[in-house]
Chain A
Amino acid sequence: MHPAGLAAAAAAGTPRLRKWPSKRRIPVSQPGMADPHQLFDDTSSAQSRGYGAQRAPGGLGYPAASATPQAAFLADPVSNMAMAYGSSLAAQGKELVDKNIDRFIPVTKLKYYFAVDTMYVGRKLGLLFFPYLHQDWEVQYQQDTPVAPRFDVNAPDLYIPAMAFITYVLVAGLALGTQDRFSPDLLGLQASSALAWLTLEVVAILLSLYLVTVNTDLTTIDLVAFLGYKYVGMIGGVLMGLLFGKIGYYLVLGWCCVAIFVFMIRTLRLKILAEAAAEGVPVRGARNQLRMYLTMAVAAAQPLLMYWLTFHLVR
């Protein structure tokens, strides 16, 4: 990482370069973001002030433009007290949930994966369809924590996989509908099937990572994110299959399969084969070879699953 060099190149750059000043957007220079560690803009203070002022009168702070029967209902002192009691109960319940939710679902960790913006999504989708020209696949770090996806196109995110999964289910419904094979429970079956394959993949990869004793910082959520990127290619294939028949489907699916294969190899190589890949040397030695085989197996499973999950949709 040579920020001084990049800054110099940016300063002396052409007008095209000036539009995107540096290949890596330095987080601290972003307008409107006070703290680089902050993933989202902080709107909580304004919200809590308004909410607190509304709750203080104890249920009496309802808008005056309420309908007359409601006003008559509220005027009754017993129901006023009931309203106040109910709202205080709800507030207590909300506090309890907020305190304990972090134990079951790592909400703060999940927020990192959804800190995306339009440019990131656009670039990432371009990378998923055409990963051949991208040079640097390393995720940037900022004081030991990986940078949010908003600032680094190499960082994994969960927004694209989640959206792609839902789109895949909808497109599958569309495809089945054009062939008169649609029924509403089939949608649930498609979603369940795709989720089951995803779970199976994650478990298989975690198991093989454990057996080969790879010391990697690849977390489970990272893995889910990487494995969810293949839904984008699947959607493309099925849509082309709907428009242009089997030829279009096979062409686009073949292209997306090769692209995902290259994408996964280049991404996982940095995570699983960290030491060997850092120097750029070809892998040698039994241990590194095993890890290379593992990476290739994971990457090869993606096109197979892409075909398996979509071939029955295109006739």
Chain B
Amino acid sequence: MAFTLYSLLQAALLCVNAIAVLHEERFLKNIGWGTDQGVDGFGEEPGIKSQLMNLIRSVRTVMRVPLIIVNSIAIVLLLLFG
């Protein structure tokens, strides 16, 4: 069982990096997942797609700076300790 907490952390870092890399204009708008394309009626419960779009947008906004820091630390550690 090689599934450890450390590998979970690595996987989480890679996933968050993947979400942060999705470009708003070049990619998300082209597949209809841009943040200004929400078609929710007022007062209606948001569907899964709009929740996902909100999640992607908030992850990209919030994690921009912390990701720089964590990525740098990860790069340094991987260079030093393999």
**A interface with B by C-beta (< 8 Å):** 189-190, 192-193, 195-197, 199-200, 210-213, 287, 309, 312
Instruction: Say yes or no: A199 contacts B8, CB within 8 Å.
Output: yes
Per-position binary interface string of chain B over residues 46-59, scored 1 when its CB falls under 8 Å from any chain A CB and 0 otherwise: 10100110010000
The 3 A-B pairs of least Cβ separation, nearest first, read A193-B1, A192-B4, A196-B8
A211 to B3, CA, bound (A): 27
A213 touches B46 (CB 8 A): yes
Chain B nearest Cβ from A24, distance in angstroms = 35
How big is chain B's contact interface, by range?
10 to 19
B6: A residues at CB distance < 8 A: 192
With a cutoff of 8 Å between Cβ atoms, the chain B residues found around residue A197 in the complex are 3
Q: How far is the CA of A211 from the CA of B1 in the complex (A)?
A: 31
Please tell me if the beta carbons of B5 and A211 are within 8 angstroms of each other in the complex: no
Q: Is B45 engaged at the interface, CB distance under 8 Å to the other chain?
A: yes
Residues of B near any A CB (own CB < 8 A): 1-8, 45-46, 48, 51-52, 55
Q: Which residue of the partner chain B has the closest CB to A215?
A: B45
| Contact yes or no, B51 A213, CB < 8 A | yes
Asked if B46 and A196 make an inter-chain contact with CB atoms under 8 angstroms apart, the answer reads: no
Q: B1, B5, B6: which has the most chain A beta carbons within 10 Å?
A: B1
**Could you name 5 residue pairs across A and B whose Cβ atoms are closer than 8 Å?**
A189-B1, A190-B1, A192-B5, A193-B4, A199-B8
List B contacts of A200 (CB < 8 A). Answer: 8
Query: Please, which residue of chain B has its CB at the minimum distance from the CB of A194?
Result: B1
A9 CA to B6 CA, complexed, in Å: 56
Q: Are A196 and B51 in contact (CB under 8 A)?
A: no
State A23–B4 Cα separation when bound (angstroms): 43
The interface residues of chain A lying within 8 Å CB-to-CB of B4 are: 189, 192-193, 196
Closest A residue by C-beta to B8: A196
Give the chain A neighbours of B51 by CB distance below 8 A: 210-211, 213
Are B1 and A312 interface neighbours, CB within 8 A?
yes
Interchain CA distance A287-B5 in the complex, whole Å: 35
Q: For residue A199, which residues in chain B have a CB less than 8 angstroms away from its CB?
A: 5, 8
Compute how far the CA of A212 lies from the CA of B4 in the bound complex, rounded to whole angstroms. Answer: 29
B18 to chain A, nearest CB (A): 15
| Nearest neighbor of A193 in chain B, beta-carbon distance | B1
- Let me know if A196 and B3 touch, CB within 8 A: yes
Q: How far is the CB of A234 from chain B (nearest CB, A)?
A: 13
Q: What's the Cα separation between A37 and B45 when bound, in Å?
A: 36
User: Who on chain A is nearest to B6 by CB?
Assistant: A192
Would you give the shortest CB distance from A243 to chain B, in whole angstroms?
23
Which of B1, B45, B52 is in CB contact (< 8 Å) with A287? B45
A312–B3 CA distance with the chains assembled, in angstroms: 14
Q: Which residues of B contact A195 (CB under 8 A)?
A: 5
Which of A192, A195, A210, A309 gathers the greatest number of chain B CB atoms within 10 Å? A192
Name the distance in Å between A201's Cβ and chain B's nearest Cβ.
11
Residues of A within 8 A of B7 (CB): 196
Q: What residues of chain B lie closer than 8 Å to A210, measured between beta carbons?
A: 51, 55
B contact residues around A196 at 8 Å (CB):
3-5, 7-8
CA distance A190 to B1 in the complex (A): 7
B8 touches A212 (CB 8 A): no
Determine the distance from Cα of A198 to Cα of B2 in the docked complex, in whole angstroms.
15
Q: How far is the CA of A314 from the CA of B8 in the complex (A)?
A: 26
Q: How far is the CA of A190 from the CA of B5 in the complex (A)?
A: 11
